[in-house]
A and B are shown apart, each in its own frame.
Chain A
Amino acid sequence: MALYSDIVMDHFKNPRNVGVIENADGIGEVGNARCGDIMKIYLKIDNDIVSDVKFETFGCGSAIASSSMATEMIKGKPLSEVLKVTNKAVAEALDGLPAHRLHCSVLAEEAIKAAVQDYYEKNHIDYDRSQFPNCDDCEHCGTCR
């Protein structure tokens, strides 16, 4: 059996929405180079809807595939739905990830949320902070602590 599902390999080899949005409405960057993965998500938001999304990722195959899948899942969606995208949903959409790579889907969820939070902050929009992860809750590699 291969390490990765066909869907993971497809999103890794042909990633959707790679790139940068100039003057993005929200930017979220999570992870750190020390642990070997960084995801950066750029959002264009019109009337509370993600009208465009791009990503850049430094990381392994599952990190790139998770970013790609996550951007597909939120494109064209209202922010209320975007915030409901979980790491589990990303991993399931990829037809599963190896156990020790599940943190890649967690990063994807966190990157999306960080970008939305950035949009709220920039535009002084009130939001429920409890919807967003707090750095202290991160159970990633721990090397940044």
Chain B
Amino acid sequence: MKVYADNAATTQMSRTAIDAMLPYMERIYGNPSSLYTIGQEAAEALLQARTVMAKYLGCEAREITFTSGGSEADNQALLTGATLGEKKGKKHIISTAIEHHAILHMLKRLEKQGFEITLLDVPENGIISAEQVRNAIREDTCLVTVMYANNEIGTIQPIAEIGVVCKEKGVLFHTDAVQAAGHLPIDVKKENIDMLSLSAHKFHGPKGVGALYVRKGVPLTNLIEGGGQERGKRAGTENVPGIMSMAAAFEETCENMEKNAVKVAALRDKLIAGLARIPHSVLNGDPLQRLPGNVNFCFEGIEGESLLLLLDERGISASSGSACTSGSLEPSHVLLAIGRPHEIAHGSLRLSLSENSTEAEVDYILKAVPEVVDYLRKMSPVWRDLVEGRKEFLL
């Protein structure tokens, strides 16, 4: 059996998304900046796509800028906040310890440029409070950036409450909604969000395309200089097929959001209940305030990469926060931030479902994971030390 359970990494494109891009590769391939018919048809299509994105985010079409994806949108949002702040002599930015690297690495860069960065700590459930943000805001704070939902542990942040605080304090508020868009209802106006990043391939759209919502009146700082595309704020000929496909995927996923969320959350909860029966394991992230498709566990005494390889052998695609899977020597910064010790963080497993997941797949995972964990524990000297009492169990 083949089970794709890594939808937080990327998703399979939907038929709707694939079909939506084809006309813009085959027939309407004109450059939207050209004045002849197939150019203008492409320009018209872009406007439609922008309108669709805006409708489901609760904003105006002109407030949507198309980008190459979530990372670019995140980078541009942070640079924008920093540039605007610097003009007013405000060089303090607030974020959280569990952001995506597209945020954290840009913050590092800004820190080198003289900005002061406050990363809010998260409690074990991974949820910060609006009070934490309120308490961290200073006279010189120019930007608050808090992810909508976490990519590893699925935790959903109180975005609307943080939005209220930022509005009250007059601080620009950005949210990285890459994991949330298309999966959770978002209304940027109601939630007082000034900037929001999203990525098409997390909701069955294509890779290499995303969007940045920016409230009108907030002047964007360019990352890419060149032609006058995207109101002069993002140069480069628009990825018309990708954008059309993203809009179609977004419309489809938003129209079916409630139905999908009910189905996926039920599968998620079954998976969580089943995996929780593995001794000396723990669920990472909040059990309730979490993305419908996210499951993340740590299993004591084993390492995540070998777990992934053995699951792959059984046809299951999943991910882990172990050092070996991150390509660095440190395990996931998110798991460390919620208080998991290094040795526990190395033994993590993330399974992320979508509406294409089935109960049979969940049953298959629930059979495979305990067997693989057991197999790896039996060859683990760490596990032997634990069961023979030379070390104390942490979980």
Contact = CB atoms under 8 A, between A and B. Distances in A.
Interface string A40-57: 100000000000000011
Contacts of A18: 379
Given A35-B329, A36-B346, A58-B382, 6 more contacts: A15-B379, A36-B342, A39-B381, A60-B305, A63-B303, A143-B329
A34 B336 CA distance: 12
A60 B322 contact: yes
B324 A56 contact: no
Contacts of A77: none
Most buried by B among A38, A56, A60: A60
A61 B312 CA distance: 12
Interface residues of B, number: 26
B384 interface: yes
B210 interface: no
Task: Give me the 3 closest cross-chain CB pairs, A-B, nearest first.
Answer: A33-B343, A60-B324, A60-B305
Interface of B: 301-306, 309-310, 313, 322-325, 327, 329, 331, 341-343, 346, 379-384
Contacts of B305: 60-61
Contact of B322 (A36, A40, A57): A36
Contact of B382 (A15, A38, A62, A143): A38
21 contacts: A12-B306, A15-B379, A18-B379, A36-B346, A38-B380, A57-B381, A58-B303, A58-B382, A59-B306, A60-B303, A60-B305, A60-B306, A60-B324, A61-B306, A62-B324, A63-B303, A64-B306, A64-B379, A100-B327, A141-B329, A143-B342
A43 to B, nearest CB: 15
A33 B323 contact: no
A109 interface: no
Given A61-B305, A64-B379, A33 B342 contact: yes
Nearest to B302: A58
B315 to A, nearest CB: 14
Contacts of B324: 36, 59-62, 101
Contacts of A141: 323, 329
Given A36-B303, A100-B327, A57 B342 contact: no
